Structure 1
Amino acid sequence: MAPALPAEPHPTGPPAEGTIRIRRAAASDWAQIWRLMEPIVRAGDTYCWDQDLDDDGARRLWFEPPPARVYVAEAEGRIRGTALLHPNRGGGGSHVATASFMTDPAASGRGIARKLAQHVLAEAAAQGYLAMQFNAVVETNVRAVALWQSLGFRILATVPRAFRHPSAGLTGLHIMHMDLTEHGA
């Protein structure tokens, strides 16, 4: 059984035309989130997830128990992006956050990924995280790498041949890091 999500009310009414609203996800958002995520998971070119992952398995992966938080980006009355924020590690490493992001390819180029990323970085800082680390940014995902670098992330290392890309073959996974105290996120 999937973990329960907080019962948060939806804001009243859809966002104004052309605006992007970021909010915490509610349990009732899952069907829209999965519709957005499923083609990304099936493509197998950006996440180290099983391409045959089903709805229930994806929900368990995305909706982790607290302190994890899931956010959605809405535009035109639809969820166009989602992010999962949680500690990168437990115990002595719990002051460093990590996050995963998925955005609707149909809404590409409209600033949704950037706005969602900025929101999650600000949330991470507000929750007391000192840094954010990404453990597996696929090297061939050049748009994501460029976005993260433009927001202040650095590539600390690239693990060679660590990802089996469906068309590019074996490619590297970047470990990326950003100090949230230096960037005023």
Structure 2
Amino acid sequence: MRIRDFTDADWGQVWPIFSDVVTAGDTFPYDPAWPAEVAHEVWVERPPGRTSVAVDDGGTVLGTAKMGANRPGPGAHVATASFMVAAGARGRGVGRALCEEALDWARRQGFAAMQFNAVVETNTAAVALYRRLGFAVIGTVPESFAHPTRGRVGLHVMHRPL
């Protein structure tokens, strides 16, 4: 597996991943009714932010990440990132590789920390991964995500210094 910068030619493979993850409704607060054009606008970061893809040896996109400053101005020293992995590639280290690469990117860009603003508390695989990578839950906004089977659940704010 290799992680590289996203190109517009990748959208044809990223869009189905985005659509599947968002349609599942259990990890991202995005609208599943968004057309591909809106999803592209939301997911693909403009510089100085970055969007990346994890690809196998044949060029198949296994997952994608977006990263950049968490907030502008006085908050711009803290990075944020989001990750999506294709259903068939889960459990194979793709998410971990994307997150590690995002952390490395943020360090190289001079960010002081990385913060995830809305990690669904029932997304236990992601929460466990982020904890293993040094993130801590610094707060949970209760009942702020409408999970399709569990009802209203909390969103964690997770943070780690770089």
Return the offset for 1:65.
2.0
Quote the residue 1:173 is aligned against: 155
Return the offset for 1:37.
1.2
Return the offset for 1:32.
0.5
Quote the residue 1:183 is aligned against: none
Give the TM-score normalised by structure 1.
Answer: 0.85
Mapping of 1:1-185 within 5 angstroms?
20-77=1-58, 78-180=60-162
Return the offset for 1:76.
4.4
Measure, in 2, the Cα distance between the counterparts of 1:64 and 1:139. Answer: 25
Unaligned segments of structure 1, at least 5 residues: 1-19, 181-185
Q: Give the residue type in structure 1 aligned to 2:75.
A: G
Deviations 1:113-163 (A, max 9, x none): 111111110011001111000000000000000000000000000110010
Q: What SS does structure 1 have at the residue aligned with 2:9?
A: helix
Measure, in 1, the Cα distance between the counterparts of 2:94 and 2:46. Answer: 25
Unaligned segments of structure 2, at least 5 residues: none
Measure, in 2, the Cα distance between the counterparts of 1:46 and 1:53. Answer: 16
Identical positions, percent: 48
Rg larger in structure? 1
Aligned length: 161
Give the TM-score normalised by structure 2.
Answer: 0.97
Return the offset for 1:109.
1.4
Measure, in 2, the Cα distance between the counterparts of 1:43 and 1:97. Answer: 26
Measure, in 1, the Cα distance between the counterparts of 2:46 and 2:89. Answer: 29
In 2, are the aligned partners of 1:41 and 1:53 still within 8 Å (CA)? no
In 2, are the aligned partners of 1:134 and 1:175 still within 8 Å (CA)? yes
